[in-house]
Structure 1
Amino acid sequence: MSGLPGVLDSAMDRLVVPGYSRWGYRLRRAGWPATDPEPGALRGGLAVVTGAGTGLGKATALGLARLGAAVVLVVRDEVKGRAARDEIIAAVPGAVVFVRLCDVSSLASVRRFASDLLGEFDRVDVLVHNAGTMPAKRTTSVDGHELTLATHVLGPLLLTELLRSLLVSSPDARVVFVSSGGMYTQRLRAGDPEYRDGEYRGATAYARTKRMQVALVPVLAERYRADGIGVHGMHPGWADTPGVASSLPGFHRLTRPLLRTAEEGADTVVWLAATSPVPRTGRFWHDRRERTTHYLPTTAERRADIAAFWAYCTNAAGLMP
């Protein structure tokens, strides 16, 4: 729980800049020491982090390694993955870090990666869905799906399901979706998940699919509840990462003095993965505190929309509903 009074903390989020900036993180951080995960909290466990070659993914992997987890860096670029592994081992001598290739936007690649993981490990304790993309124009995956949908939603859904048996083998499995505060501007587009209607904008597609992630977290939490698998969503605030710099150069230039470090942005992911007692499953978090998923009444989902969207995704990803 944050050390800030609840009303002030919520107001900072609603005003966006105070809550999402480095100052929001640092003000809240003052009240956190009592909730920090115990040293070695993940010792003996295995964490899988997608998009782990740079930015938030690499910072997440580093944080999990510091807590004792063996970490699988899931990357598309092997050179970046190996460089990230070397950095983590340099920072955490003795850390066990694996580099594995997977394009999360490709369902075949996800299936190959999951099959290899099932043959290599006995359990997965933490699965972090962090891989992201923001194409400037509408682009499709190898399977014909809009690229942000494939990367942020379909690939992660399939990967979670394929690794279900490894997650079940953990005494305390946790799945974390790294969303974005930009999702607050969007409603669930159940009738146009592939962004075929209207003028395509990369930032809008990104925010829409981040909304989709958040809408599906409670669905997945219920799906895996009997298996003892917790499912959590979070957003990192504004963090200074290579992805932000390349995809939103104007935003990055204007806000750079306000941006968090990647480690600050990743803090809540690491906390969700390792804190005790276990956070409530199916919830949405920012800076170690449960947050509302809607600030605008126009973005609220109807049950029928969620059901329709879930049906679309399970069919597209080849899952049993």
Structure 2
Amino acid sequence: MTTRPVPELFSRIVDTALDRTVVPGFTAVGLGLRRRLPGWPADPAPGALAGRHVAVTGATSGLGRRTALDLAALGATVHLVVRDTTKGERVAAEVDAAAGRPGAARVWWCDAADLDSVRTFAGRFLAADLPLRAVVHNAGALPARRTESPQGHELTQALHVLGPVLMTDLLLPGLAADAGRVVLVTSGGMYTQALPADDPEYRHEPYSGSVAYARSKRGQVELLPVLTERWAPQGVTVHATHPGWARTPGLDASLPAFSRALRPVLRTDAAGVDTTTWVVASEPAPEGGHLWHDRRRRPTSVLPGTTPALADRVRYWAWVAGATGLAP
């Protein structure tokens, strides 16, 4: 019988306590404490991404902008996949200046909720013949009212699930060329919701933007096993990362009361993207198919009634495959 060394066991106990009590674990307090615990994974080496290409959606502000800056600081050429190219060019100039390299960032137009736009973008990107180390699906929205994508899908599902799945599937040739990593940036809100297998489009009950957002994020993590099986034959791994509670323009706009109440302990944007950067740049790659928060694997369900039956996951994936036109 083997036993864990006391420092490692102590670290696990403290880390789990932070995670389960939510408020300290999701705020700046949690990351600050965890960094000081034994066993904290090493930072990616300087220049870890030199010569590599990474695509980041929703890169004009908040966590997407910070992800682009931090990946470029490690040597990556960052492809900013954005709806507003004017803002994208401003961020690209900022990334170039911070990295000290002209061309450290390039701007691509794409509406990640519009499946036709996703197909057009993927075709243009593949035509550039660039190997992809990673795609970071960061684009997000929390609409106050039920809104539909150009294809008629509920917006949070289209933006957080359908668009990312289709985009990744189309970009597999580029990802396979560099043992690529796919990161779905999720949210702790998903812990409060079950998988909406019966009503993914949110048609049959009064709409709540925050609930729809959390359900779509639940969908991301529940698809991890399915997407791992689908993309692993190409040498591509898929991960979900939970940034904790970070102060961003999106949080201030969509949940202003929450943002004001927790402002003293909210994470910075750099702290919010720490685990995403680590997943993309660390060697060897973290194990695929899992949810990560503060550089550790996390359970995908902690509340009763939020763990889906296999049949629910199968039905949800069948809906995703049908909506995106992919073979299930």
Instruction: Name the structure 2 match of 1:83.
Output: 90
> 1:251 is matched by which residue type in structure 2?
F
In structure 1, C-alpha distance between the alignment counterparts of 2:323 and 2:117, rounded to whole Å:
15
In structure 2, C-alpha distance between the alignment counterparts of 1:273 and 1:66, rounded to whole Å:
13
In structure 1, C-alpha distance between the alignment counterparts of 2:279 and 2:50, rounded to whole Å:
16
- Compare 3-12 and 281-290 and name the one that shifted more: 3-12
In structure 2, C-alpha distance between the alignment counterparts of 1:70 and 1:58, rounded to whole Å:
14
1:153 correspondence with 2:161: yes
Tell me the alpha carbon deviations over residues 57-115 of structure 1, each in whole angstroms, 9 at most, x when there is no partner. Answer: 11111111111111100111112111111221221101521011100000010011001
**Percent identical:** 51
Alignment partner for residue 230 of structure 2, among 223, 229, 235? 223
1:187 correspondence with 2:194: yes
Tell me the alpha carbon deviations over residues 189-227 of structure 1, each in whole angstroms, 9 at most, x when there is no partner. Answer: 101000112111101100000000000112111111111
Instruction: Name the structure 2 match of 1:42.
Output: 49
Instruction: Name the structure 1 match of 2:245.
Output: 238
> 1:146 is matched by which residue type in structure 2?
E
Instruction: Name the structure 2 match of 1:12.
Output: 18
1:24 correspondence with 2:30: yes
In structure 2, C-alpha distance between the alignment counterparts of 1:187 and 1:71, rounded to whole Å:
34
SS at match of 1:35: coil
In structure 2, C-alpha distance between the alignment counterparts of 1:109 and 1:29, rounded to whole Å:
40
CA contact (8 A) 1:132 1:148 kept: yes
Alignment partner for residue 261 of structure 1, among 264, 268, 271? 268
1:131 correspondence with 2:139: yes
In structure 1, C-alpha distance between the alignment counterparts of 2:298 and 2:154, rounded to whole Å:
29
> 1:120 is matched by which residue type in structure 2?
A
CA contact (8 A) 2:46 2:74 kept: yes
Note the C-alpha offset of 1:179.
Answer: 0.2
SS at match of 1:298: coil
Q: How many residues align?
A: 320
CA contact (8 A) 2:41 2:295 kept: no
> 1:233 is matched by which residue type in structure 2?
A
- Aligned ranges for residues 96-111 of structure 1 at < 5 Å? 96-111=104-119
Instruction: Give the alignment's TM-score, normalised by structure 2.
Output: 0.95
- Aligned ranges for residues 293-304 of structure 1 at < 5 Å? 293-304=300-311
In structure 2, C-alpha distance between the alignment counterparts of 1:152 and 1:4, rounded to whole Å:
36
In structure 2, C-alpha distance between the alignment counterparts of 1:275 and 1:125, rounded to whole Å:
11
In structure 1, C-alpha distance between the alignment counterparts of 2:58 and 2:320, rounded to whole Å:
21
CA contact (8 A) 2:53 2:130 kept: no
> Does the C-alpha gap of structure 1 residues 123 and 151 become closer, same or farther in structure 2, counting only changes over 3 Å?
same
> 1:102 is matched by which residue type in structure 2?
C
In structure 2, C-alpha distance between the alignment counterparts of 1:225 and 1:120, rounded to whole Å:
24
Alignment partner for residue 150 of structure 2, among 121, 142, 150? 142
In structure 2, C-alpha distance between the alignment counterparts of 1:4 and 1:301, rounded to whole Å:
32
> 1:20 is matched by which residue type in structure 2?
F
In structure 2, C-alpha distance between the alignment counterparts of 1:17 and 1:231, rounded to whole Å:
27
Note the C-alpha offset of 1:297.
Answer: 2.5
Alignment partner for residue 118 of structure 1, among 117, 120, 126? 126
Note the C-alpha offset of 1:38.
Answer: 1.0
1:319 correspondence with 2:317: no
Note the C-alpha offset of 1:25.
Answer: 1.0
